[in-house]
Structure formats: structure tokens, C-alpha cells
């Protein structure tokens, strides 16, 4: 069959196709997507669900002049394919290749970088107002889905947008049926009707006519809301000041094209509710959309995902500890901001359903919710990615640390994260945590130490954080027995001469290799706060060169804490550089930053010879 996809280099090419050709293009896109992601890994389920929606948006809107803002950004693979990056999809999430999320530097069609969720409405509103201020007819569209509407920032933006008259369209990509069930032809027809200019003009005209008769106008508005409310969940968004349209079938191209075509002619804030199916068109992903949400390379014929070695990951160590600790202490409650599987909590949720709380994509709420539980005697454990903790920094300071509440932060993805790139890297947590009073900050160097540090955190009556990396550790066996570590005490792992290497967390393994080569003293510092000041000062007095190593930005990090407590000693602080580090293979990324064993040896020798 003649391939339509091969003829599409830009959305302008897409707009030359007839409506009758678009279903074939959608089928080809879905086939290309499955084949491509099976070879690279990536987010499959959500992208299979947005094929028709992406085609319709680029067919109706004059992109890139019209702005599309995708949220969450991992649903943009089809968007990338249609905007000149089809051949580059083989490099998806690889070093020097395509990012897994929208990236302004990558394409003019990527109007806003959206690695985190719930930001699209705010950004698109800003673009809509910019168009208004400049007198442009340009349109702005926010496509928000994959749970992003649960984030408080989305509702803040809705509240603000509804009070303005900017030409903003918010599309809710409802792919989890969290608001309403998929609906059929009647609702598609009503959506086309309610998005039409005749309906909008009739509505505005009736308001003008009835304005002089306030009781009648109020009755008419209530009657309209009642009629629309019978067939659509419109009330909430209408109250925000949006004209609500939908729900419509997000896989019905005709309904999408008609509705979007009508909406583009309307003035003011519009809200379109689209229902899609994650994994659409690939039966295995339809059956288990979670498995194929963020998937590694897989065999597309049988769906078998390539497996890594069998060593437990830090995430799995945390999940096991959480269940074991919950059995010992009925005060423990587990909290996650919509990252149950990613944070290793499914078994805990199964065993302790009344003590498990998924609060949605609402990191700020997660921390203050934990603070409230702690106020009344519970021991909350908040499982959160380092990059997402950044969004709740104010709550950590004001609602937890100031009040000295015993909330445990289990911080996953500390350091670099490989293919997810800069938006998901945990590069800054040691810097922004150690400056907060009342905090204890721990960095495990192996799997068993992670378990013991989590237990140590549970014994404290003040806030604490255990920060561990993505993936597997060095392979140290986990001991079932849990013992609290002596607070603020490091341990010397190797005694040497001239050089002392102070390693934090994941950097102990390369530091030990470097220590053997250099005959250096190597210390597992374990605690960033409180720092083992006595040990640091003793090491400074006994060695010519003090080296700190961390998988965190050097600025303000653990090395800075060491430098603050010694004087008159030659120091070398090693860590992540002062730049955002793009996606790649984790070991290579560390090597590029000089944080491999070879890199440490090279840098330390260079310092010694100066």
C-alpha cells in the first residue's frame, strides 16, 4: 500500500491530505510508533492513545504559528514524528538524540518544555495573552492528560484563565476514565453542536436580550446548565469560566476534526473533554497499559520486555523495607504523589491498603498532608522522586521543618537518571536539603545501607531524608535485621596516604576503585547532615589533599558542607557540573562528568602534580 507517512515531513504536508486519507495516516503512525519504541524503549501506551488527537490538532491548527503545549510531555512521540523528526526517532532518549519530552531547542513545534506535569494551562495561557497583547490571531492550545489535571497548578491556571478573555483551548485527554466513561454518537454530535459558532452566537445573543431581565437570565443559565449537565460533566469547568465541550471519542477523527474546526473560530476560553484509550491499537498495551507506559526495548510480536540483571534495585529495597517496617510499626503510613509503581509501593498498597495514600500529581499537597498526619502521631513516609520534590520545597520548609515534624522522605532517582534526561535528574537535592534546619540527610552507598538508613529515619522525631539513586546498587546483600546507624557518623573504608576521598552515597564504589589505584584513604560519609565534622577535621590534618565526591551539583552540595568546616587544607570538590545534563546512558554520563573511577584518578593526579 502507498505510504502516506512517507510523504509527511511537516504538518503543512499533513494539511494537504484529504479527510478521507487521515484514518490511513493514523494507522501508519500507530504501526510506526510500535515498531520504533520496541527498538528504543520509551513511553508507548500514552502515545498510542494520542494518535488521532495529534493528527487532528495539526490538521486544524496552523502549527507552529498556533501553539500546542503538551502535558505530560511524554505523550508527544506522534507530534515529533509529524514535525520532521521521524527518522530521528531511532535515537529517542539516547545521548545526542531526541529527547523523550518536548524541548524548545529541538524544534520550533515544541513550544514549551514539559518534563513535569500540570504546567501546560499556565504556559498556554501566557502564550494566549501574548497573542492578545500583540494583536495576533495566533491560537494557544494546552493538551493535558495522564493524570496531570490532578495537579493543583492546573486548577490555579484554570481559575486565572476563566477570568480572562484570551483565546485559549484546554483539551483534557482523559485516558484513564477518571472523569467519565467513553460515550457514543450522541455526545459526539452534541459536542459538535455546542462548539459551533451558531450555538455560541445564540448563547451570547440570548444573554444580551435577557440581561434586562435578571431573573429570566438566571433561569435560562440554570436551564442550560441542567440540560448540558445531563449529558456532560460540564459544571465544574463552566464555573471556572470556560465553555465546556464534550466528552468526545478521541479516536473518532471526524468528531475531532469537526469539533476542533469549530472551536478554532470561537473567542475566549474553551474546554474540550476528549476520551482516549491508553495503548490503543496494540492489544498487549491495551491489556496492560501500565507495563507499556514507560517500557524498555521489547519484542513487538510477543511483547516480551528485555530484562536486566536480577539484582534488586534501590526502589525494590525501599518497597520491601516499607512492608517490613509497616509490620513492626502500625503508625507508619505511605504516601506517593501518583508514583506507586515507580516508587516501589505496589506490595505495600496491597498489604496495607488503609495506610497507603496516592494523592495524585500533587507534590505540595503530599508533603503538607504528611505533616498533618505527623501532627497527630503517625509516621508518614513520602516516596518521591528527587526532581518532583523540588516542586514542594516551600511545604518542606514551612509545613514540616519549621514544625520539626517526623516525616520521612524516601527520595528516589537521586543523581543522574539516564534516558529521561535533565527534566528528571535529581541533581540538586543535597544542595537544597542540607541548608534546611532540623533536617537529617542520608546517602546510602549500597542496598543494605539504604535499608538501615530508612530504619534510622523512622527512629527520629524530626524530618529526615534518605536519598538513593535510580536502578541497581553494587550488589550488597540486604540484611533483614534493622539497626539504627549512629547519627552523623561516617566510616573509614580504606586507609591510605596523602589523599583522603570523602564519598557520598553512590560515589563510594568508584571512590574505592580510585583509592586502590592511588593508595588513598576512602571514607563512606553516609550523612550529609549532620556532617561528621570531627572525622573531616581529623582527615584534613592527616592528608595533603581532601577530595569530596557526590552525584549532586557541586554548588552548595555535600562537598560545600565539608569545605565549610575546615580551613588551611587543599581541597577538591567533585560532582555534577554547573549545567543541565541531557539524556544518555548512565555510566557514560558519569564518565563524562569525571565521576567514574578513571575520571577520579585522572583529576586527583592532576591536582597532586600542580
Identify the active-site residue in 30, 103, 278, 320.
278
Average pLDDT, the chain: 90
Active site residue 391: yes
| Residue range 514-553, pLDDT digits in tens | 999 999 999 999 999 999 999 999 999 999 999 999 999 9
What is the bridge-based pairing of β-strands 521-524 and 491-494? antiparallel
Residue 317 phi, psi (nearest 5): -60, -45
Non-local (6+) Cβ contacts of 224 within 8 A are 203
- Over residues 246-272, the pLDDT tens digits come to 889 999 999 999 999 999 999 999 999
d(CA 138, CA 498) in angstroms, rounded, equals 65
Contacts of residue 74, Cβ cutoff 8 Å, sequence gap at least 6: 42, 43, 46, 47, 100, 101, 146, 294
**What pLDDT, on a 0 to 100 scale, did the predictor assign at position 295?**
85
Q: With a cut of 60, say whether residue 329 has pLDDT above it.
A: yes
pLDDT classification of 225: cutoffs 50, 70, 90: low
Instruction: Please confirm, yes or no, whether 363 is among the known catalytic residues.
Output: yes
Provide the CB-side half-sphere exposure for 134 (13 A, CA): 10
Q: Which of 391, 413, 467, 470 is catalytic?
A: 391
Contact indicator for 194, 245 with CB cutoff of 8 Å: yes
CA 254/CA 93 separation, integer angstroms: 33
pLDDT digits (tens, 9 = 90+) for 101-111: 899 999 999 99
Pairing of strands 270-275, 243-249: parallel
* Cβ 465 vs Cβ 438: under 8 Å: no
State the pTM of this model: 0.86
- Is residue 19 part of the annotated active site? The answer reads no
Q: Say what the alpha-carbon torsion angle 53, 58, 64, 68 is, to the nearest 10 degrees.
A: -20
* Cα–Cα distance for residue pair 357/363, rounded to 1 Å: 12
The total number of residues written for the chain in this structure: 610
Neighbouring CB atoms inside 10 A of 177's CB total 12
pLDDT at 578 > cutoff 90? yes
DSSP for 118-147, please give it.
Answer: S-HHHHHHHHHHHHHHHT----EEEEEETT
Q: Which of 28, 52, 238, 363 is catalytic?
A: 363
pLDDT band at 502 (very low <50, low <70, confident <90, very high): very high
Amino acid at each position: 500500500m502507498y505510504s502516506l507517512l512517507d510523504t509527511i515531513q511537516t504538518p503543512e504536508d499533513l494539511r494537504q491530505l484529504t479527510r478521507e486519507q487521515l484514518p490511513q495516516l493514523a494507522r501508519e503512525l500507530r504501526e510506526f510508533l510500535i515498531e520504533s519504541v520496541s527498538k528504543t524503549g520509551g513511553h508507548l501506551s500514552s502515545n498510542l492513545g494520542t494518535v488521532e488527537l495529534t493528527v487532528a490538532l495539526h490538521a486544524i491548527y496552523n502549527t507552529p504559528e498556533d501553539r500546542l503545549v503538551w502535558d505530560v510531555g511524554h505523550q508527544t512521540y506522534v507530534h515529533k514524528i509529524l514535525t520532521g523528526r521521524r527518522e530521528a526517532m531511532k535515537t529517542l532518549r539516547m545521548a545526542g538524540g531526541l529527547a523523550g519530552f518536548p524541548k524548545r531547542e529541538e524544534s520550533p513545534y515544541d513550544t514549551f518544555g514539559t518534563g513535569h506535569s500540570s504546567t501546560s494551562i499556565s504556559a498556554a495561557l501566557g502564550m494566549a495573552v501574548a497573542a492578545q497583547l500583540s494583536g495576533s490571531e495566533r491560537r494557544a492550545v494546552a493538551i493535558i492528560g495522564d493524570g496531570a489535571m490532578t495537579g493543583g497548578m492546573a486548577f490555579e491556571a484554570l481559575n486565572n484563565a476563566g477570568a480572562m478573555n484570551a483565546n485559549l483551548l484546554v483539551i483534557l485527554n482523559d485516558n484513564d476514565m477518571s472523569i467519565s466513561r467513553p460515550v457514543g454518537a450522541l455526545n459526539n454530535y452534541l459536542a459538535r453542536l455546542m462548539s459551533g459558532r451558531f450555538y455560541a452566537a445564540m448563547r451570547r445573543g440570548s444573554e444580551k436580550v435577557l440581561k434586562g431581565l435578571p431573573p429570566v437570565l438566571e433561569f435560562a443559565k440554570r436551564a442550560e446548565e441542567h440540560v448540558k449537565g445531563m449529558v456532560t460533566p460540564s459544571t465544574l469547568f463552566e464555573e471556572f469560566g470556560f465553555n465546556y465541550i464534550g466528552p468526545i471519542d478521541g479516536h473518532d477523527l471526524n468528531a475531532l476534526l469537526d469539533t476542533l474546526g469549530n472551536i478554532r473560530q470561537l473567542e475566549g476560553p474553551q474546554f474540550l473533554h476528549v476520551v482516549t484509550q491508553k495503548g490503543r491499537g496494540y492489544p498487549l498495551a491495551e491489556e496492560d497499559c501500565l507495563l507499556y507506559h514507560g517500557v524498555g526495548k521489547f519484542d513487538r510480536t510477543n511483547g516480551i520486555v528485555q530484562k536486566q540483571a536480577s539484582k534488586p534495585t534501590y526502589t525494590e529495597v525501599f518497597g520491601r523495607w516499607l512492608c517490613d517496617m509497616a509490620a513492626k510499626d502500625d503508625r507508619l503510613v505511605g504516601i506517593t504523589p501518583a508514583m506507586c509503581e515507580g516508587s516501589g509501593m505496589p506490595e505495600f498498597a496491597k498489604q496495607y491498603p488503609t495506610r497507603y495514600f496516592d494523592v495524585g500529581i500533587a507534590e505540595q499537597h503530599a508533603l503538607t498532608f504528611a505533616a498533618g498526619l505527623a501532627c497527630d502521631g503517625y509516621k508518614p513516609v513520602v516516596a518521591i522522586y528527587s526532581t518532583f520534590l523540588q516542586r514542594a520545597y516551600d511545604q518542606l520548609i514551612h509545613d514540616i521543618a519549621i514544625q520539626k515534624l517526623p516525616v520521612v522522605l524516601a527520595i528516589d532517582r537521586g543523581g543522574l537518571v539516564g534516558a529521561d534526561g535533565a527534566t528528571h535528574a535529581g541533581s540538586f537535592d543535597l544542595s537544597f536539603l542540607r541548608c534546611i534546619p532540623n533536617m537529617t540527610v542520608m546517602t546510602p552507598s549500597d542496598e543494605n545501607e539504604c535499608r538501615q538508613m530508612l530504619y534510622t529515619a523512622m527512629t527520629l522525631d524530626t524530618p529526615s531524608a534518605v536519598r538513593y539513586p535510580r536502578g541497581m546498587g553494587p550488589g550488597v546483600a540486604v540484611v533483614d535485621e534493622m539497626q539504627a546507624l549512629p547519627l552523623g557518623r561516617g566510616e573509614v573504608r580504606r586507609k591510605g596516604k596523602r589523599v583522603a576521598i570523602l564519598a557520598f552515597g553512590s560515589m563510594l564504589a568508584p571512590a574505592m576503585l580510585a583509592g586502590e589505584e592511588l593508595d588513598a584513604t576512602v571514607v563512606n560519609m553516609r550523612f550529609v547532615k549532620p556532617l561528621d565534622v570531627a572525622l573531616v577535621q581529623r582527615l584534613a590534618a592527616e592528608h595533603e589533599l581532601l577530595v569530596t565526591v557526590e552525584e549532586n551539583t557541586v554548588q552548595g552540595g555535600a562537598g560545600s558542607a565539608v569545605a565549610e568546616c575546615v580551613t588551611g587544607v587543599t581541597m577538591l570538590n567533585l560532582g555534577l557540573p554547573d549545567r543541565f545534563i541531557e539524556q544518555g546512558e548512565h555510566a557514560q554520563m558519569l564518565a563524562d562528568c569525571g565521576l567514574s573511577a578513571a575520571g577520579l584518578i585522572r583529576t586527583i593526579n592532576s591536582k597532586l602534580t600542580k
